[in-house]
Amino acid sequence: MLLTLPDILTPDELRLVRDWLAHAPWEDGRASAGPQARSVKHNQQLPRDCEAARQIVGQVTRGLDRSPLFFSAALPLRLFAPRINRYAGASNHYGPHVDNSIRLQALPSGQTEYVRTDVSCTVFLNDPDEYEGGELTVHDTYGTHSVKLPAGHAVLYPGTSVHEVRPVTRGERLACFLWIQSMVRSDEQRRLLFDLDMNLLRMRERHGESAETTALTGIYHNLLRLWADT
C-alpha cells in the first residue's frame, strides 16, 4: 500500500526545520547503506548525533505520533530512528534498491534492538518547486509510482518494494526517512485493516453509531488481535 500522509509537520515546525538545516554538517550517505544499496546510493545525510538531526527527528516523530492516519496505516510497533538526507550537486540520486529487511539500532539505555523494516516512510522537508527531479519512484506489482510531495507531507510504502530517488537536476531535495516495524507483518493484512478502519470512520460520520458499526468494529479488532504481534 502506498499512502500519502498530509501535514505531518506544520508551517511553524517546517520553519524551525529549515533553520536547523541552514548550517547542517552533511556527510556521505553511503555510510548507512547495506552492501547492495551502497553501490547505487549517492546522497548526503546528517550525522545522527548532531543537534540539527536530533531536533528534526523530534519534530518528525511528534508529527507522526499525532497522525491517526499514520497509526491506522502502519500500525507501528517500533520505529527505526529517522535520518535526514539531502540530494544536490554530485550527490543527487539513489538508484533502484530494496532496503535491508532488518536494522540494528542503539537505544538510549545503551542496549540495542533489531527493527524489521515492514513499512518505509519519507517526510518531505522542502517544496517541489525548490528543485527539479528527485521523485521517489516505487516499483511494485501494480506498476511504477512517482511521488513528490509538498513540504511537511509524508508517504508510506511497503519496505519490500524496489524504489529509487531520481536525479535532482536543480536545487536540493531535503527529506526525512524512517522505517516502521508494524504489529502486522503482512502488507495485504495491513491494507485490509486500513480499508476497514477508513470505511468505519465514514459510516460513523454519515450515520453515527449503529448496530452495524459496532459489529464491524468488533470484526476489525478481532482481525487485529488475530494478526498482530506485539
DSSP code per residue over the chain: --EEE--SS-HHHHHHHHHHHTT---EEGGGG--HHHHTTEE-EE--TTSHHHHHHHHHHHHHHHT-HHHHHHH-EEEEEEEEEEEEBTTB-EEEEE---SEEEEE-TTS-EEEEE--EEEEEE-S-GGGEEE--EEEEETTEEEEE---TT-EEEEETTSEEEEPPEEEE-EEEEEEEEEESS--HHHHHHHHHHHHHHHHHHHHH-S-HHHHHHHHHHHHHHHHH---
pTM of the model: 0.95
Topology of domain 187-227, CATH: DNA Excision Repair, Uvrb; Chain A (4.10.860)
Domain boundaries, the chain: 3-182, 187-227
- The pLDDT value given to residue 35: 72
pLDDT (0 to 100) of residue 156: 98
Model pLDDT, residue 221: 98
Q: For each of the chain's 230 residues, which pLDDT tens digit applies?
A: 999 999 999 999 999 999 999 989 999 998 777 677 778 999 999 999 999 999 999 999 999 999 999 999 999 999 999 999 999 999 999 999 999 999 999 998 989 999 999 999 999 999 999 999 999 999 988 889 999 999 999 999 999 999 999 999 999 999 999 999 999 999 999 999 999 999 999 999 999 999 999 999 999 999 999 999 99
Residue-level pLDDT at 32: 72
Top CATH class of 3-182 equals: mainly beta
pLDDT of residue 89: 95
